[in-house]
Amino acid sequence: MCQLLGMNCNVPTDIVFSFEGFRRRGGETDEHADGWGIAFFEDGGCRVFLDYLPSSISPVADLVKNYPIQSRNVIAHIRKATQGAVSLANTHPFQRELWGRYWLFAHNGNLAERPSLDDGRFTPVGSTDSEHAFCALLNQLSRHFGEPPSLADLHGAVADYAGTLSRSGTFNFLLSDGRALFAHCSTDLFYVVRESPFSTAHLSDADVSIDFARVTTPRDRVAVIATRPLTDNEDWTRMRSGELLCFVDGMPRPSPI
Amino acid sequence: MCQLLGMNCNVPTDIVFSFEGFRRRGGETDEHADGWGIAFFEDGGCRVFLDYLPSSISPVADLVKNYPIQSRNVIAHIRKATQGAVSLANTHPFQRELWGRYWLFAHNGNLAERPSLDDGRFTPVGSTDSEHAFCALLNQLSRHFGEPPSLADLHGAVADYAGTLSRSGTFNFLLSDGRALFAHCSTDLFYVVRESPFSTAHLSDADVSIDFARVTTPRDRVAVIATRPLTDNEDWTRMRSGELLCFVDGMPRPSPI
């Protein structure tokens, strides 16, 4: 399987601290060593850093650690290959454009059946079930909505799709169009919301601490979402199976009914 | 304006030497300091590195210099903003997916009129004339061809489009779908083909030389395309205005009639 990391904030924030723990699970503290990637939304655009080296030793991961990119929506993924060879074409997050916005997607799990692409405009480049599911989702959204939907309508449509697809396997995923970050839990996804009064956090995967009170302002709010909690002294909330949260400005909105 | 750099090879090759000269034109030896980007096709996938810092001082450019990525098709761009603010959304190369392949595009020039998007599936995210032209091209290709065309048919269609668009301004561009690299010249584009017997090349923008005989095999062939020659001791061929070359395996195929 793989592991996911996401961040959603009300002001542009760097992910260096969380990434420092997360990257070690790619070959050092855990086995997810078949490539990795991280994507940042910035200024309406986005940039995606990918590498097929393990994140624990990747020079691209060194760059991400040393160059604190400020972003309100971040998605990262470390891979343990189940379907599809180790190659750049199979490395998450995957990126597409729809309605003049970039969309990013990363998946943890394994789907026994691949959903129909319905002759839609989005086609996978690589051979993973994950990219296939992402393309099927975008095909469904572009067919369903004649024009860009509101966030609430989008939330409902993504929840429907996630529910349907979850029947054919494990479908934990993170999805963002730069406005919000959607987090869907099949089996394993946790989150923590950091806000004032801030305290000190300590990584689970490295003896590294940070006092958030020193690097934030009282109005900052940051949600971090991960397959397994990244710190050992914060209260992480375990998401329920089937739940799709929509994070906006560092706060989760619950699954639509 | 901006500057372009492209590479097309018959075996995966790193672009470190050429990039070392090129990046200096982004704020050091020349004025193109409004962001930059470079994209590599690898294993059917691709990765794009973008930064809005000048390439001469960008940490991302340091990574590209120090991490020799092997690729058969590379497109790079340094920007001097004419249309659109300095932001990540306006940074070339731009990326889209069509027919299960990634497409990359970078432009040097300025278009007085923006071509129609024809209600097509590709929509710009940023505000540049360049990304707009790229989306219009892909809309036209996806409408024109019911299925992925041969390289010869694609060459013809891209040449038609480039000819039409060139009437509204300067339209030097590089385009690749990972199989070939298309280079269109309105005003300024040069190329050199390096093949056996290899010799030593010396950069124009830095006192750096490389003996290609030491880092190649006799069957390697590499074409480098740039807005201005990157070396001062090789024979660069100046492309003609209106010419669209299709580089495959390090060799240019001429414009279709």
Distances (CA, A) of A215 to A3, A24, A192, A196, A200: 27, 23, 18, 12, 11
Catalytic residues of A: 2
Using CB atoms, pick whichever of B51, B90, B97 lies closest to residue A122. B97
Contact check, Cβ <8 Å, A44/B122: no
| Cβ(A41)–Cβ(A72) below 8 Å | yes
- Residues from chain B that touch A87, judged by Cβ atoms under 8 A, are 42-45
Is it the case that residue A76 has pLDDT exceeding 70?
A: yes
The angle formed by the CA atoms of residues B41, B78 and B161, to the nearest 5 degrees, is: 65
Task: Please name every residue paired with A238 in a beta bridge, in sequence order, or none if there are none.
Answer: A190
**pLDDT at residue B257 in the model:** 61
Looking at per-residue confidence, does A242 or B31 come out higher? A242
Q: How far apart are CA B181 and CA B38, in angstroms?
A: 14
**Percent of chain B surpassing pLDDT 70:** 100
Distances (CA, A) of A201 to A28, A204, A234, B29, B93: 21, 10, 7, 45, 38
- Rounded to the nearest angstrom, the minimum Cα separation between B36 and chain A is 12
Contact check, Cβ <8 Å, A59/B48: no
Other CB atoms within a 10 A radius of the CB of residue B194 amount to 19
Q: For residue B173, give the H/E element and its range.
A: strand B169-176
Other CB atoms within a 10 A radius of the CB of residue A23 amount to 28
Q: How far apart are CA B244 and CA B247, in angstroms?
A: 10
B33, amino acid identity: A
Q: How confident is the model at residue A31 (pLDDT cuts 50, 70, 90)?
A: confident
Contact check, Cβ <8 Å, A126/B45: yes
DSSP conformation class of A230: S
As for how many domains chain B has, the answer is 1
Size of interface A-B (CB pairs under 8 A): 89
Q: How confident is the model at residue A182 (pLDDT cuts 50, 70, 90)?
A: very high
Give long-range contacts, CB 8 A cutoff, 24+ apart: A153-156. A154/A180, A155/A182, A155/A244, A155/A246, A155/A253, A155/A255, A155/A256, A156/A256
Contact check, Cβ <8 Å, B59/A67: yes
**Interface list for chain B against chain A, based on CB atoms closer than 8 Å:** 42-52, 59-60, 62-63, 66-67, 87-91, 95-97, 99-102, 121-126, 142
**pLDDT at residue B28 in the model:** 86
Looking at per-residue confidence, does A252 or B81 come out higher? A252
Q: Which residue of B has its CA nearest to A60?
A: B63
- Residues from chain B that touch A142, judged by Cβ atoms under 8 A, are 121
Q: How far apart are CA A152 and CA B99, in angstroms?
A: 31
**pLDDT at residue A28 in the model:** 86
Question: B222-249, pLDDT tens digit by residue?
Answer: 999 999 999 999 999 999 999 999 999 9
Over range A87-116, report the average pLDDT: 96
Question: A190-243, pLDDT tens digit by residue?
Answer: 999 999 999 999 999 999 999 999 999 999 999 999 999 999 999 999 999 999
**pLDDT at residue B10 in the model:** 97
- Rounded to the nearest angstrom, the minimum Cα separation between B125 and chain A is 5
- Identify each DSSP E strand in A34-147 by its residue range: 36-42, 45-51, 71-78, 94-98, 101-111
Is it the case that residue B255 has pLDDT exceeding 80?
A: no
- Residues from chain A that touch B142, judged by Cβ atoms under 8 A, are 121
- Residues from chain A that touch B47, judged by Cβ atoms under 8 A, are 48-51, 88
A127, amino acid identity: S
Query: Which of A26-35, A190-199, B86-95 shows the lowest per-residue confidence on average (mean pLDDT)?
Result: A26-35
Enter the tokens of residue A130.
């994950």
User: Is A116 buried (19+), middle (13-18) or exposed (0-12) by CB count in 10 A?
Assistant: exposed
Over range B150-162, report the average pLDDT: 96
CA atoms within a 13 Å half-sphere pointing along the CA-CB vector of B39:
27
Using CB atoms, pick whichever of B47, B50, B123 lies closest to residue A97. B123
- Rounded to the nearest angstrom, the minimum Cα separation between A86 and chain B is 10
Contact check, Cβ <8 Å, B47/A49: yes
**pLDDT at residue B31 in the model:** 85
The chain-wide mean pLDDT, for chain A, equals 94
**pLDDT at residue A118 in the model:** 87
How much is the ipTM here?
0.94
User: Is B2 buried (19+), middle (13-18) or exposed (0-12) by CB count in 10 A?
Assistant: buried
Residue with tokens 């993973």: A128
- Residues from chain A that touch B44, judged by Cβ atoms under 8 A, are 87-89, 125-126
Give the domain extent around A99: 3-253
Task: Please name every residue paired with B76 in a beta bridge, in sequence order, or none if there are none.
Answer: B5, B38
Q: Which residue of B has its CA nearest to A93?
A: B47
Is it the case that residue A256 has pLDDT exceeding 80?
A: no
Q: Which residue of A has its CA nearest to B64?
A: A60
Question: A34-46, pLDDT tens digit by residue?
Answer: 999 999 999 889 9
The residue among B16, B50, B90 with the most chain A CBs within 10 A of its CB, best to mutate, is B50
Task: Please name every residue paired with B224 in a beta bridge, in sequence order, or none if there are none.
Answer: B7, B192
Q: Which residue of B has its CA nearest to A97?
A: B96
**pLDDT at residue A257 in the model:** 61
Contact check, Cβ <8 Å, B88/A63: no
Task: Please name every residue paired with A73 in a beta bridge, in sequence order, or none if there are none.
Answer: A8
Looking at per-residue confidence, does B80 or A226 come out higher? A226
Tell me the CATH number at B41.
3.60.20.10
Query: Which of A62-71, A78-87, B155-164, B224-233 shows the lowest per-residue confidence on average (mean pLDDT)?
Result: A78-87
- Residues from chain A that touch B125, judged by Cβ atoms under 8 A, are 44-45, 97, 100-102
Other CB atoms within a 10 A radius of the CB of residue B144 amount to 13
Q: Minimal CA–CA distance to B129: which of B78, B75, B169?
A: B169
R_g of chain B, CA atoms, integer Å: 17
Q: How confident is the model at residue A85 (pLDDT cuts 50, 70, 90)?
A: confident
